[in-house]
A and B are shown apart, each in its own frame.
Chain A
Amino acid sequence: MSKAIEVHDLRKAYNGRTAVDGISFDVHSGEVFGFLGPNGAGKTTTVRMLTGIIAPDSGSIAILGHDIVQEPVRGKQAIGVVPETANAYDDLTAWQNLMLMADLYGLRRPAARRPAADLLEELGLADRRDQKVAGFSKGMRQRLILAMALLHDPQLLFLDEPTSGLDVQSTHLMLEILGERSRAGTTIFLTTHNMDEANRLCDRVGIIRAGRIAAIDSPERLKQAINRMFMIEVGFDRPVEAPVFAGLPGIDRVSKHGDTWRLETADTDAAIASVVAAARSSGARILSLSTLSPTLDEVYLRLTGGDA
């Protein structure tokens, strides 16, 4: 399988504060790669470096075989970009914005008209073609930005949180088009903080946290990891201290939530036996006990360093 993106030991600091801390990964041609992480994790900084918008402090980036730092124009020519916070020109119409992109990507006007019209149709903007973007809703703007990124039919598409804060219909339409492009062979690099979106769309997901990659895996395997992680919630009739659970078989992590304790385990059977033993030894009675299957968010939060 050939590589669309090869990143090695990439680093970037802003005024001495590290934003991206030595990440390395590959994206295969044709796959949808999700870059999942909370706010401030370093997703946008990474995308900006990969797309040649800012220079890395160190490390190497090959985009479709081009070193993006050495050959920025050739690299940029081959990719489409939907930046996180970018606008189309308010004072231009949707069509004029698209034609500006055609010119900037070196498409000749006659060759650009057909795909531009098709994209507006596909993205539900055909009847807005000659209206200024100033009057567009957020969803319409974001759809136009996607059309602008797709006009030159790039082999590789970068999207930085493309559906964040978007209405349901626009989100649906955009994800549908990304799916279509992916089936047609376009490689897609997508950042998101939405686990479900990553799960639905991506062949592989990289989880980034505080500038480092915490895990890279397929959503299926991440799900398997999730299935091995259960939670037991237990309540006692009197206060019980944390050391009671210390070192008991099957219990990996303990946290207190109000009157109940949450115990993480990979072995439910052993953990329940341990809880019963702990109750006996401390003279407490169990008032309630339930097992919780973890949500995707909990695994994600755990991997990204939050408290589940």
Chain B
Amino acid sequence: MIRPAGLGEQLRRSLAVARKDIRIYYVKGPVVIFGLLIPLFLFLAFSLGNRFASVPFLISGLLAMTVFFTATAVSPVIFPWETQARTLERLAAAPITVPALVFGDVLASFLFGALIALVPVGIGVALGVTITSPAALLAGILLAALCFASLGVLLAVPPARAPQNIMMLSSLIKFPLIFISGIFIPVESLPAWGRVLAAASPLTYFTDIARAAMGEANAYPVALDLAVLAAFSLLFLGAAMLLHARTLSKRL
């Protein structure tokens, strides 16, 4: 006899939710547009304007943007889409807890965020970038994907019905983050207020890990970067689980 409320069984059900998300939502447009094209354009624009930036510096920035945009491309809109398509009530009636449901959505975004990293890293390697500490890079990519996917699902908490509203809200948060996270200007060369802002952005720490792993100068010790990313992940994931449990019924 299965124990439906047990952790193992709920995790299996999270996997089913993630599989459904991947089948349905990740084949839609936003992933490609937001996850790959926007970072690529930003990257090209920036590298054309900055002849002096080194290739590893540019590639680590591209990697950070790609993982960030991909992991947050779909995660904020899954709940609004399901509300609009009226599929959410069917899920709410199923024997899966809200945290398990949220975790399933995070898992799907995490997978895409982590896998997409192969593209910028591949481009980097093709351009002659040496990965000096692959283990740190891998750990950074995995933690960053988890962190950004959780952030994305957390952004879906306001029970807005129109997916466009959440898209707009999440863009308002996502784009400024790009500019305060040391992607275009190294954290070390920012003024004091800029460094404070940068320290508040989880994206800063992933960019920092990527710089270190590609042999570039970076701002913080890698162990600290990883610890802060892990702390942000726990915070975002926990908050998303807690808050969605409160707002889910307001969507029906």
Binding site for B on A (CB under 8 A): 48, 51-55, 71-74, 76-77, 81, 83, 85-92, 96, 100-101, 103-106, 145, 148
Contacts and interface: CB of A to CB of B under 8 A. Distances in A.
Nearest to A85: B86
Interface stretch (B1-9, B196-204, B223-231): B1-9
A148 B9 contact: no
Given A85-B86, A89-B24, A92-B24, A53 B4 contact: no
29 contacts: A48-B252, A51-B93, A53-B249, A71-B5, A72-B95, A73-B5, A73-B10, A74-B95, A77-B4, A77-B95, A81-B90, A83-B90, A85-B86, A86-B87, A87-B86, A87-B87, A87-B90, A88-B90, A89-B24, A92-B23, A100-B20, A103-B12, A103-B16, A104-B94, A105-B94, A105-B95, A106-B2, A106-B95, A148-B90
Closest 10 CB pairs of A and B: A103-B16, A76-B95, A81-B93, A73-B5, A77-B95, A104-B94, A77-B4, A54-B249, A86-B89, A87-B86
A105 B242 CA distance: 23
Interface residues of B, number: 29
Nearest to A158: B93
A74 B89 contact: no
Contacts of A89: 20, 24, 85, 87
Nearest to B88: A86
Interface in B8-22: 9-10, 12-13, 15-17, 19-20
Given A73-B96, A89-B20, A106 B4 contact: yes
Interface string B158-180: 00000000000000000000000
Given A48-B252, A86-B86, A101 B23 contact: no
A177 B120 CA distance: 55
A301 to B, nearest CB: 29
Contacts of B17: 104
Given A53-B89, A106-B2, A73 B95 contact: yes
B23 A96 contact: yes
A83 B16 contact: no
Nearest to B5: A73
A74 B86 CA distance: 24
Contacts of B87: 86-89
Contact of B95 (A86, A90, A104): A104
Contact of B94 (A87, A88, A101): A101
A54 B92 CA distance: 9
B17 to A, nearest CB: 8
A113 to B, nearest CB: 16
A106 B17 CA distance: 12
